[in-house]
Amino acid sequence: MTGNAGTTLATMCNTKSIGHEAEDLSLRSRRVRHLQEEMKTNFKRDLHLWSISILVILVLATGFAAVIAPSLAWRTASFHFDFRDLPQLFWGMIVLVLLFSVYVTTQKRELNATRRTLLQEFIMSEHLQAFSLLDPVTQLLNSCAIDPIVAKETIRANRLGTSLTVATISLDNFQSIAKRVGIEQGEQTLYHAARLLKNTFRGSDVIFRSRTSEFVVVMPDTTEQEAEHAITRLRAGTERWNAEADSGCEFSFSWGIAAYIEGARTSDVLERARRCMFLSSQKINFVF
């Protein structure tokens, strides 16, 4: 009964966490799409302005040619142009061109200013999104990066027919360490735990800090049995750390492994791994 209650609680917390992460990602995506649409609109306005400029120049040139060309080419009595009106026509066209140039220049300045602002906002949004995916304590990717990266790896696994395994790893005694040595030293402990994970898993594996003291490892091209070998290396590395640590902060990890099955959802794979991790932390083993 206790195991079922713990699993249910873990599922509820996981669902809530995934909901917040999805909401944050959705907001950032909408923001980026809005900036892209504004940039497209700005580009269309620029093209529209250039089109108007070219059209006005063509109209003026056509009108001037229609007035002057016949009097120069056709010397007939039926058509006569009074060249005394030419200066007024010429200066009128000059004034019209100047006014239109002022209008075009003003519009171009506004468009360029808008374009610079949009580019700055877009670049800032990209930078903020990049920084928001990095956990400042462990220097690992945080929970916001899990869904897009796992989705990318599942698509790759489906396309190539390769294996994909996810592991969830929890630093069980983090709360007791933080209470004993303080929050700052506790964060240092998390950092060292993250380094231990980085040194254990391959460079192609992606490691996230998903919760306060929980990590998620995505292992492409890895079967569940191969993931077990990685966990064995982690167990050996943890024993070495505990034997050599001078601070007295020993690590105690629980872990769970779940292989991706084609067609499964990311949340389902993570939930299965967390369920196995919970059973591992409770020292519950099932024999099938």
Give the residue with greater pLDDT, 37 vs 171. Answer: 171
260-267: Cβ within 8 A, 24+ apart: 260/154, 260/157, 260/163, 260/164, 260/165, 260/166, 262/157, 262/158, 266/146, 266/147, 266/150, 266/151, 266/154, 267/14, 267/15, 267/18
Rounded to 5 degrees, φ, ψ at 271 are -65, -40
More confident residue, 16 or 188: 188
Cβ-count burial 155-194 (b if 16+ within 10 Å, e if not)? eebeeeeebbbbbbbbbebbeebbeeeeeeebebbbebbb
Is the dihedral angle over the CA atoms 49, 55, 59, 64 positive or is it negative? Answer: positive
Asked whether residue 254 is domain-assigned, the answer is yes
Single residue among 91, 115, 132 that ends a domain in this structure: 132
Boundary of a domain, candidates 74, 103, 132: 132
Mean pLDDT of 173-198: 86
Residue 288 lies in a domain: no
Residue 34 falls within a domain, yes or no? yes
Residues 6+ apart with CB under 8 A from 267: 14, 15, 18
Q: Tokens 């192609």 appear where?
A: 204
Residue 286 lies in a domain: no
Q: Which of 39-48, 190-199, 245-254, 277-286 has the highest mean pLDDT?
A: 190-199
Q: How far apart are CA 237 and CA 62, in angstroms?
A: 84
Instruction: Tell me the residue range of the domain where 185 lies.
Output: 141-281
At residue 281, the pLDDT reads 76
The most confident of the ranges 20-29, 46-55, 98-107, 134-143 is 134-143
For residue 232, pLDDT beyond 70: yes
Mean pLDDT of 204-222: 93
Q: Which of 246, 168, 270, 248 is nearest to 213 (CA)?
A: 168
Task: Say how many domains are in the chain.
Answer: 2
pLDDT digits 0-9 by tens, 143-161: 888 888 988 999 999 999 9
171 or 281: which leads in pLDDT:
171
Percent of the chain with pLDDT over 70: 64
Q: What is the pLDDT of residue 265?
A: 85
Query: Are residues 202 and 123 part of one domain?
Result: no
Report residue 10 as tokens: 């873990």
**pLDDT at residue 7 above 70?**
no
Give the helix/strand (H/E) hosting 208.
Answer: strand 206-211
Handedness of CA 64, 70, 71, 73 (dihedral sign): positive
Domain membership of residue 41 (yes or no) is yes
Residue 5 confidence class, pLDDT cut points 50, 70, 90: very low
For residues 57 and 131, give the distance between their C-alpha atoms in angstroms, rounded to a whole number: 49
pLDDT at 236 over 90: yes
Half-sphere exposure of 96 (CA within 13 A, CB side): 14
Say whether both 111 and 162 belong to one domain: no
Indicate whether 70 belongs to any domain: yes
Amino acid at 157: A
Q: How confident is the model at residue 17 (pLDDT cuts 50, 70, 90)?
A: very low
DSSP state of 207: E
Q: Are strands 141-142 and 206-211 parallel, antiparallel or unpaired?
A: parallel
CA distance 28 to 170: 29
Residue 13 has pLDDT above 50, yes or no: no
Among 122-131, 140-149, 180-189, name the most confident range: 140-149
Together in a domain, 191 and 151? yes
How far, rounded to the nearest angstrom, does the alpha carbon of residue 143 sit from its chain's CA centroid? Answer: 12
Q: What confidence tens digit (pLDDT) does each residue in 66-86 have?
A: 666 655 555 544 545 555 655
User: Per-residue pLDDT averaged across 154-179, rounded?
Assistant: 90
Q: Which of 263, 33, 262, 54 is nearest to 129 (CA)?
A: 33
Residue where a domain stops, chosen among 132, 155, 179: 132
pLDDT at 199 over 60: yes
> What pLDDT is stored for residue 106 in this prediction?
78
- Same domain for 8 and 119, yes or no, is yes
Please, what is the average pLDDT of the chain? 75
Helices (H) and strands (E) in the chain, counts: 7, 5
Q: What is the pLDDT of residue 14?
A: 44
Interval 49-64 mean pLDDT: 71
Residues 126 and 149 in one domain: no
pLDDT of residue 211: 86
